[in-house]
Each structure stands twice: as C-alpha cells, then as structure tokens.
Amino acid sequence: MLMQQAYSLAKKLHKTKIWLGVSERNLKALALYKKEGFKKIGMHTFWIGDTPDEDMIFEKWLY
C-alpha cells in the first residue's frame, strides 16, 4: 500500500521515475523492489560511525 502511494504521489507531481537506496544485505527488500520493476543503476557508499556501508541504488520508470 505504501508503494502504491509513492507511485501515485510521484505521478501527481509529474515525476517520470522513482529512485531508492537499499542495503546490499537486505535480501527481502531487494526481492520486493525487483518484483516491483526497479532496476539497479549504481552503488552508494555511506558511513555509519567509522564503518562504511554500501547501498544499491535502484530506479523505476513510471511511464
């Protein structure tokens, strides 16, 4: 339901795509986003204290 609200709001705001970041270790989220049609477009490193972490960046075109 939350995903549908995000799509609806993006379309209302005349956006053509949605981006999101998800931890490469979050397998359940990765499966959900792939099922929803998101495609991996890159990686992003961010820091939690002294520890670097990697997020996968995904996008979905809304056509």
N-to-C CA span, the chain: 20
The answer to whether 43 and 55 have CB atoms below 8 angstroms apart is yes
Catalytic annotation, pick one of 1, 4, 20, 33: 33
Q: 33 an active-site residue?
A: yes
In degrees rounded to 5, what are phi and psi of residue 12? -60, -35
* Active-site residue list: 33
